[in-house]
Amino acid sequence: MSRRHRRNKMITTYLMRIFFVNLFEAAVSKTRAQANRRVNLIKNQIVHRSNSPRLQTKTCCWTNNIISLSSQWKTSLLIATFSYLFTTYAYAIPTFDEVKNSYKKSDAVLLDRHGEIIHELRVDEKGRRLEWISLKDISPSLIKAVIHSEDKRFYDHHGVDWRAMGVAIFESLVSKNNRGASTITMQLASTVDKDLKPKDSRRTLSQKWNQIRVAWEIENTWSKDEILEAYLNLITFRGELQGVSSTSRGLFDKEPSGLNESESIIIASLIRSPNAQASDVIKRACKLASSMKSQTQCENIKSLAKTLSGTYSIRPRISLAPHVARELLQNEGTRAVSTLDANIQRFATEVLKYQLILLKNQNVHDGAVTVVENKTGDILAYVGNSGLSSSARYVDGVRARRQAGSTLKPFLYELAIERRIITAASILDDSPLDISTPVGLYIPQNYDNEFKGLVSVRSALSGSLNVPAVRTLMLIGTEPFVKRLKELGFENLKESGDYYGFSLALGSADVSLYELVNGYRTLANNGKWSDLRLSFDMNTNEKQVLEKEAVFIISDILSDRESRSATFGFENPLSTRFWTSVKTGTSKDMRDNWCIGYSQKYTVGVWVGNFTGEPMWNVTGITGAAPIWLEIMNYLHRNTPSLPPQPPQRVVKNRIEFEHHIEPEKDEWFIEGTQPSSIELNTIHLNPHIIYPTERTIIALDPDIPERHHLIFFEAKASNTNFQWLLNNKKIGTPSERVSWKPKKGKYVLSLVDKQNRIIDSVEFEVR
C-alpha cells in the first residue's frame, strides 16, 4: 500500500466516523431543504479536511446527485452510494493472484519419489474443495447459465447493478417479495471478505454498504474474467461442495469442462439456495432454462433430480497409497513427497489383487505387500490391503499384528550360530517331542506332519522343520531370543519369554509385516539395523545388531535351493533366476501366510489371510504369499542383477562328511574356529535326553492292579550309550535307551549323566 493510499485511508476513515450521523440524517430528512442543508454540511467539511483532490472531486459529484433525489427508495440508494464514497480507501482489497494463491484444497496430495501424484486425500472436514479451475476449463454452458441466473448485466456494470438494485428496493417497499440485487462481483466480495457474510438470514445495512464498496474496488483492480473465475471457484453450490470442480465431480462425476447444458442449468440453479429441496431446485432450473430460451427440456432436467437427493461421492483421480497418505498428509493444501515409487506401488497392488482373486475359493480375502530398498531403508511400495475388494479396506495390513509362523526361525538360528552353540552342519533331531508346560504338554508338529529324523541345521532351516527349531530354542532359552527380537525392532513383545514358551520358535508372537521386512532387511545388510522410512525427512538410527559372519551363513541357507527342495520341491515360487534369500511362514490353523525375502538390493514382504481372523483353506506359504513375492522380485530385477554376498573374512568353507550318511557329503560354511578339525568330528551327536516321563508327570498307581505287576519304563533318546541313569542321585539299570523301574509313592528326580557325572538331562515326576 502506497503512502498516499495509507494517508487517504486514515483521513476517510476519520471523516466517516464524524459525518456518518449527518449523512444518515440527510438521507432520512423529510424535506428537500433539510436534506440539502445536511449534504452541503458534509460536503464542506470533507473538502475542508481532505487533501485528496480525487476525494474532493468525488464528494462534489456525488453530493450534487444526492440533492436531486427525493423519494424514499432513492434515499436508500443514496445511503449505499455515500457508503462507498467514504470507505473507498478504508480497506486493502486483495489482488486476484493473492486470492488464487491463498486458495486451499480440502485434499492434500501425496507424491512419489519422482514427483508423480500417487494419492489424493481429504484432510479438511469443513468443506469439499478441489483444485482451482481456470475459466477456460469450465464449460461455456455453465458460464452462460450462471451469468443469466445471477447477473445478466455482468459485463456492462462496474460492480453494482443500480437498475436491479433500484427495482429490488422498490419491490421491498411495496410488496413482501424480497428480491436480491447482488451482482456476481458483490457476491464475490462477500466471499473474499468474511465480515460481509450475513450474520442472520439477511445482511445488515452496514454490511450491504461495505459489500458495494468492496465490489467496486474489485472491479477497479480485477478483470471481468478474473472476477468470474474466482466466483465459480469460491462459492458454495450445495452442502459442503465448494467451487465448480467439487460440485461437478460430486454431483455428476465430471470435470467442469464436460458439463452439458442440463447439468449446467442445475448447478447454476443451486447458487441462490444451495441446500434447497431437490424438487425446488428442479423447478428453479426449469424456469431458468425457459428464461434462457434453452433447448433443454424440463424432462431432461428432472431426470437428473436423483443427483440432488442422493448422497454424493467424489471419486479420487488416483488412490495408490491410502495408508501412507493418512500418515504423511495432515493439513489441507499440502503436498508431501514420499519414498514410494509409483510404478512399484502400482505393480505390487495389481499382483496382490490378482493373487487374491485366485485364492478367493480358498477363503482368502486380504493381503498386504511391502517393498524396501536395503541400503537406505526407503519403502518403495506400501500396500496395506487390496482396496475395494478387501474385507476391511481401511485396515492397514502392513502394520496389523498377526502370528509370525516360521518367519522368526532365521533369527533364532542366527543367534545360536552367533553364540557358537550350533553350526550349519550341526545335527538336530527331528522326532516327536513332548514338552511339559504349566498348562499341559506342548507337542510341536511339522508342516507335513512327518518327521525326518536326524538332520543338519541347514536342512532344518531351509526345510522349515518345527521340532529342530524348538530344540534350538531350548538350547538358547526364550529370554535371550525375546531380547534379540526386540533389538531387531519387534515391538510390543512381552517382557518375559515364559509368556510364549518354546512355541516362540514356531512364531507364536504377534508381529507386523513392517517389522518382519525390516528384520529381514537387517539380514540383507550384514546384521546392520536401521529404521525404515516413508519420507525423506525422517531420520534413521543405525546399529549393528547381528554378527555379520552368522548372518552370512543364514543368508546362504535361505538361498539354498537344493536344501529347500526336500520340503518344497526343486521348482517352487521361492526359486528365482537371480540370487535371493527367502523364508515362508504359516501361523496356527492357517490364519496367516507369509513370504519374506531379500535380494542384493531389495527386501520384499507379503502377507495373505483374512482381517477377520478366519482360517484359510489349504493354503501354504508356497501357494499363498510366495507367488506374489516371486512376481514382485522378478519385476524389480527385470533389468537389474542380484549377486550373492561375499563371505566375511572370518567365514571359512569346509568339506563335511556325515557319519552314517545322515546327509550327503557337502561343502559347508563355518565361522572360523567352529569348523570340525577332523573327519571323525564332523558327526555332531545329540546329547541323550529323556523321553518318558516328561517334566512334572504324575503317575497314579491303580489299586486294582496287583503291586507286583506295577512297572514303569524310563525311556531316553540317544545316539550312543555314553550315559547312566540316576534316580534321586542313585544309579539304576544299565546304559540303555529303555530301563524298567518298580514305582513307589513319592517325588523323584530322574537324570541322565555322562561318564564325567555331568547331568545331561533331568526331569521331575511324582508317583501317587
Query: Which pLDDT score, from 0 to 100, does residue 41 have?
Result: 54
Is pLDDT of 678 > 90? no
Query: Which pLDDT score, from 0 to 100, does residue 642 have?
Result: 96
Confidence of residue 29 (pLDDT cuts 50, 70, 90): very low
Query: Which pLDDT score, from 0 to 100, does residue 68 have?
Result: 45
| Mean per-residue pLDDT over the chain, rounded | 81
The residue type found at 617 is W
Lowest mean per-residue pLDDT among 331-345, 454-468, 720-734? 720-734
Confidence of residue 50 (pLDDT cuts 50, 70, 90): very low
Which three cell numbers mark 119?
494419492
> Among residues of the chain, what percentage have pLDDT more than 90?
35
pLDDT tens readout for residues 210-259: 778 888 888 888 899 999 999 999 998 988 898 999 999 988 888 999 99
Is pLDDT of 554 > 70? yes
Query: Which pLDDT score, from 0 to 100, does residue 225 have?
Result: 92
The residue type found at 631 is E
- Axis-axis angle for helices 409-418, 513-524 (nearest 10): 40
Averaged pLDDT for residues 92-107: 86
pTM, 2 dp: 0.73
Query: Which pLDDT score, from 0 to 100, does residue 196 have?
Result: 67
Query: Which pLDDT score, from 0 to 100, does residue 6 have?
Result: 47
Position with higher pLDDT, 51 vs 292: 292
Is pLDDT of 88 > 50? no
**CA–CA distance, 207 with 190 (Å, rounded to integer):** 9
Averaged pLDDT for residues 161-175: 62
**Strands lying side by side in the sheet with 746-753:** 697-699, 759-767, 746-753, 724-727, 730-731
**C-beta neighbour count of 750 within 10 angstroms:** 23
Nearest to 191 by CA among 301, 293, 271, 303: 271
pLDDT tens readout for residues 309-357: 777 778 888 889 999 999 998 765 578 999 999 999 999 999 999 999 9
Nearest to 684 by CA among 706, 698, 668: 668
Averaged pLDDT for residues 18-47: 48
Is pLDDT of 566 > 50? yes
Is pLDDT of 438 > 80? no
The residue type found at 375 is K
Query: Which pLDDT score, from 0 to 100, does residue 704 have?
Result: 65
Q: Are the C-beta atoms of 698 and 768 separated by less than 8 Å?
A: yes
The residue type found at 18 is I
Q: Is the dihedral of CA 305, 132, 197, 312 positive or negative?
A: positive
Position with higher pLDDT, 502 vs 399: 399
Confidence of residue 604 (pLDDT cuts 50, 70, 90): very high
The DSSP element (H or E) to which 206 belongs, if any, is helix 205-221
Max mean pLDDT range (38-42, 80-84, 234-238, 569-573): 234-238
Q: Provide the CA 564 distance to its chain's centre, in angstroms.
A: 35
What's the length of the chain?
Answer: 768
Position with higher pLDDT, 61 vs 494: 494
Max mean pLDDT range (85-99, 240-254, 461-475, 521-535): 521-535
- CB under 8 Å to 699, separation ≥6 — which residues? 693, 712, 743, 765, 766, 767, 768
Confidence of residue 721 (pLDDT cuts 50, 70, 90): low
Position with higher pLDDT, 421 vs 65: 421
Averaged pLDDT for residues 385-408: 90
**CA–CA distance, 284 with 543 (Å, rounded to integer):** 70
Is pLDDT of 510 > 80? yes
Nearest to 415 by CA among 333, 486, 331, 328: 486
Max mean pLDDT range (372-381, 440-449, 529-538): 372-381
Max mean pLDDT range (182-191, 324-333, 558-567, 576-585): 576-585
Confidence of residue 159 (pLDDT cuts 50, 70, 90): confident
Query: Which pLDDT score, from 0 to 100, does residue 437 have?
Result: 56
Averaged pLDDT for residues 6-35: 45
Burial status of residue 2 (CB atoms within 10 A of its CB: 0-12, 13-18, 19 or more): exposed
Which three cell numbers mark 646?
561375499
pLDDT tens readout for residues 528-544: 999 999 999 887 789 99
> Among residues of the chain, what percentage have pLDDT more than 70?
77
Query: Which pLDDT score, from 0 to 100, does residue 202 have?
Result: 66
